[in-house]
Structures are given as C-alpha cells and as structure tokens.
Amino acid sequence: MSVLSGKKIILGVSGGIAAYKSATLVRLLIKSGAHVQVIMTPASLSFVTPLTLSTLSKNPVHSSFYSDDEMSQWNNHVDMALWADLMIIAPATANTLSKMANGNCDNLLIATYLSAKCPVYFAPAMDLDMYKHPSTLSSFSQLKHFGNIMIPAEKGELASGLVGEGRMAEPEHIVAFLEADLKSKMPLRGKKILITAGPTYETIDPVRFIGNHSSGKMGYDLAIAASKMGAEVVLISGPTHLTVNDSSIELIRVVTAHEMYVQCHKHFIDVDVMIAAAAVADYRPRVVADQKIKKNDEFFSIELEKTKDILFSLGQIKENKYLIGFALETENEVENAKLKIQKKNLDLIVLNSLQDEGAGFGKPTNKVTFIDNNFVVSPMDLKSKEEVAIDILNKVIAHYA
C-alpha cells in the first residue's frame, strides 16, 4: 500500500505545455489510493480540459472563484486548502511560481496556495533559459524559504526544441518523489515492530476448541498505524476475519498458543519493538481427542496444562528492545499490571479493565491506562481503537526520541 493511500491531495495545474502530463499524474495518484481535487489556472484550460481531469479524479475541477453555471456558487479556497493533506503544483510555470513567491493572488489556485497549511510541493516546467533566469531562481529560493518542496525539473527535449533542464518531472517520478519524501519524515521510519493480535484456539477434539472473544482489532489497528508511521511490521495473528493489504506488513496467521510462541521467537531477534496485543490462551487440553467427544455423561472434565508464556520468555532475552504488553483485568487492575511489568520485564503495559464501559473484547472503542516500568500511571479517555493505537505508538516514538 502506498503512503499516499487515503491522502487528500490538491493538484494545481498551471498554463504550460506540460499540463498534458497532469492527466497521467491524476491517474497515478488515484491508483495510489489518494483523493484528488484539481484546481486549474485560467491559462491551463488551453492545454488540458477540465472534463478529462474531472473524470480521472472523480471530482469537479475548479478554475475560478465562482462556478461557471451559477455565479452565486462560490468555490471556497479556504475550505479546499484546509481539506488537503498536501498540495502539488504541477506543472508550475515561471508565472505561477512568481505569483506564489510574491503573493500575487489573482486566481483560485494562488488563493488556495496562500491559504494552505499542508506541505506544498511544486514541479517547475519551462524552457531552459527561463529556468535559469535570475527571477526564476529567486522564486525557487523564496519558495524553499517558505518551506515549500521543489520536485526538480528533468533534462530533456523542451517544447522550444532546445535540450536541457526545465522539463517537468515525469508523473511516475513525481509520485515516487512524494512517496520517498513522505516516508523520510515518518516518525517510525527504520524501525521494525512485531505485533501479535487476536485470540488463540486450543483444540479439544476435531470440532471443539478453547478460545476467547478477542476480535484482533486492536492488534490490526496497531499494525496499520505503525505502517503509516513508516515502520516495517510483522503481524502474527490468531484466528480472525480481519486482514491487511499493505506491503509494509508481513501477516503471519497462526491458530494455537504454541504456534504463536514459535513465530514470535523466530521474528523477535530482528525487531526493535514488540507489542503483544494478542489474547493468548493460558491453558490448553493436555490430551487432544482424535475423534469427536460424544455427549454421554452429565458432567465432563478436561485436564488442562499451561501454555508457554510468550511475553515472559521474550522479556528474558529482550536486551535493548522495547517491549509492550497488554493486561485485561477485572479486579486490582493497577496492582496486577505492575506485577506483570516486573515479572515479564516489560517497558510498558497497556491496562484494560472490563469494569470500564466501552472497553474490552469485540468493541470498536477502548479505555486504557498506560503504566511504564517506573510505575508511572497514565489513565486515558475512552477512544476508538484506531486512536488508542496511535497513543501506544506515540509511546514508542517518545522512547526513541
């Protein structure tokens, strides 16, 4: 999955021959999973049609402050600017660059640019002599000073017939530049995180098992959020209907506590962080029946034996890895969680209490308390599990800050 997936992007198209490439750029951004809103300068309408870009972006294209069909319909540049996660001006002509650098606000694109609070990228496109002119170089310098990010022009044949620098970067190169730049700024870039999720099932006979109500959502939300923050993720999941579609997440499916134990130890050596969000069975049947057990007696007993404690075993070999565990308690919550921190050599524990409404298995929300290895207790408000995942990962980021 591209880091552009889910991003809201404004593509500004200005009036140069390279505007024909904007159609391909829109298509690639949409293919990457982005939401695209195109704003065109009046001059760009001579090079590419709004219908083309509207069809590809699946959104209306705007080029003026008022809709053509109804003067009372105002295209609000402030709303569009606040909507965007990032803005790209491609092609960025010498004229548009000068207006951006000097605040010459005479069209919708420049008004939106001046209102933008998101990162702004610009891809220059002009002839060789224009590209090297002192006024253009001054625009580059000023825009970089503003914090805008330049996507360098490429060398090649230009519209004038000259060969040299000034050719707008190819759409594929622009997308690659955006992805690389966004990844370089991600707070967990370069970190590898091992996450467990879901329940384990311990077989009784060919049709029955011991399990629990864990849906796996907390672990999957952690994996997705960590990937979006730039981490490489190994997600070891017990039985669940959930899945992920992200090349940065290696999904390993297991069923039993023993299988999860083996996979955790296999991958633990290569990671920086381990987050044990799975609800692993503490016990399993000592003997598994080969055939379905018949319902005969009024009472039926199963002899259980302890499973291997995954978190405890990893705590003994963690060295400098950051180890996070979960605790689901129904009484003496904080005291029991502190004991688990000591026993399992954890750096942080995420405490869930079934006494809290909205917390626990099978719910979209969670209410947790963080307790670190210095026994600092930090209660959190009830939040969605996606938000809780971000809070947990912020603890990881703070650790490495």
- Predicted local confidence at residue 397, as pLDDT: 97
Q: Tell me the pTM.
A: 0.78
Whole-number Å distance between alpha carbons of 36 and 7 = 8
Residues 69 and 164 in one domain: yes
Please compute the mean of the pLDDT values over residues 279-299 and round it to a whole number: 90
- Domain with 37 in it: what CATH number? 3.40.50.1950
- The reply to whether 3 falls in a domain is no
Residue holding tokens 């997936």? 5
Whole-number Å distance between alpha carbons of 385 and 220 = 10
Q: Is 156 helix (H, G, I), strand (E, B) or coil?
A: strand
Q: Report how far apart the first and last C-alpha atoms of the chain are (Å, whole number).
A: 27
Strand 202-205 relative to strand 208-210: parallel, antiparallel, unpaired? Answer: antiparallel
Residues 59 and 200 in one domain: no
Compute φ and ψ for 31, nearest 5 degrees: -60, -30
The range of the structural domain enclosing residue 32 comes to 8-184
pLDDT tens-digit profile of 336-355? 999 999 999 999 999 987 66
- Predicted local confidence at residue 196, as pLDDT: 98
- The reply to whether 230 falls in a domain is yes
Residues 178 and 204 in one domain: no
- The reply to whether 63 falls in a domain is yes
Residues 247 and 129 in one domain: no
pLDDT tens-digit profile of 196-246? 999 999 999 999 999 999 999 999 999 999 998 999 999 999 999 999 988
Residues 178 and 199 in one domain: no
Whole-number Å distance between alpha carbons of 224 and 243 = 10
- Predicted local confidence at residue 335, as pLDDT: 92
Tell me the CA distances in angstroms from 198 to 162, 331, 398, one per residue in order. 61, 23, 26
- Domain with 366 in it: what CATH number? 3.40.50.10300
- The reply to whether 1 falls in a domain is no
Residues 239 and 91 in one domain: no
Residues 21 and 164 in one domain: yes
Number of helices followed by number of strands (H, E) in the chain: 13, 23
Q: Of 184, 219, 254, which residue is a domain's last?
A: 184
Residues 176 and 75 in one domain: yes
Please give the positions annotated as active site: 212
Whole-number Å distance between alpha carbons of 337 and 350 = 8
Q: Of 142, 167, 184, which residue is a domain's last?
A: 184
State yes or no: pLDDT of 38 exceeds 60.
yes
Question: Who wins on pLDDT, 93 or 162?
Answer: 93
- Predicted local confidence at residue 149, as pLDDT: 98
Residues 173 and 236 in one domain: no
What DSSP string describes 252-286? EE--SHHHHHHHHHHHHTT-SEEEE--B--SEEES
Residues 159 and 274 in one domain: no
Please compute the mean of the pLDDT values over residues 73-99 and round it to a whole number: 91
- The reply to whether 152 falls in a domain is yes
pLDDT tens-digit profile of 153-180? 998 877 777 787 889 999 999 999 999 9
Residues 236 and 314 in one domain: yes
Q: Of 129, 151, 184, which residue is a domain's last?
A: 184
pLDDT tens-digit profile of 114-142? 999 999 999 999 998 899 999 999 999 99
- The reply to whether 334 falls in a domain is yes
Alpha carbon 179 to chain centroid, angstroms: 12
Q: What is the mean pLDDT of the chain?
A: 92
> If phi over 0 gives left and psi between -120 and 50 gives alpha, with beta otherwise, what is residue 360?
left
Whole-number Å distance between alpha carbons of 18 and 90 = 8
- The reply to whether 120 falls in a domain is yes
Q: Dihedral sign for Cα 292, 297, 303, 309, please.
A: positive
The number of folded domains in the chain is 2
Residues 297 and 324 in one domain: yes
Task: For the chain, state the CA radius of gyration.
Answer: 28
